[in-house]
Structure 1
């Protein structure tokens, strides 16, 4: 799976990491819906850190289609709320 972090680049992650990312996404969705700014910041950071830790960065000149697009680390609660679907940022 190719994941893009807006403003940073793309990472290639094995599908086996989907469950870990999805658990963080579920937390982020709950915190966003509750308006929990500190929790939102913490979980967004953890989600992006997990992508960076588990994934292999693609070269800057690579333009692969992203299967998942995540917000930048400095995205606001409202910006992320606008990106969310019923299931969060990560479908499934």
Structure 2
């Protein structure tokens, strides 16, 4: 799956990583609903760090259709709430 981090670029993620990423997404969703700014910042940073760690960066001159778009590290609570679907930022498991 191709994932875009806004303001950074795209990475290719194997489906095997989505269970872990969904757990972080669930935490992020709970923190958003509670208005927990420190928790939101911490979990968003952890989610993006994990995507960068396990993902394979695509070259800057390659633009693939992104199947998933994640907010950048400086996104606000309000911006991320606007991006959310019914299942959070990372809907279900692919496949």
TM bin (shorter chain): over 0.9
2:39 aligns with 39
Unaligned ranges ≥5, structure 2? none
Structure 1 residue ranges, 4+ long, deviating more than 2 angstroms after superposition: none
* TM-score, scaled to structure 2: 0.95
RMSD of aligned Cα (Å): 0.5
What is the count of residue pairs matched by the alignment?
Answer: 92
1:12 aligns with 12
Measure the CA separation in 2 of the matches of 1:49 and 1:80: 17
Unaligned ranges ≥5, structure 1? none
* TM-score, scaled to structure 1: 0.98
Report the alpha carbon displacement of residue 86 of structure 1 after superposing the two structures with TM: 1.6
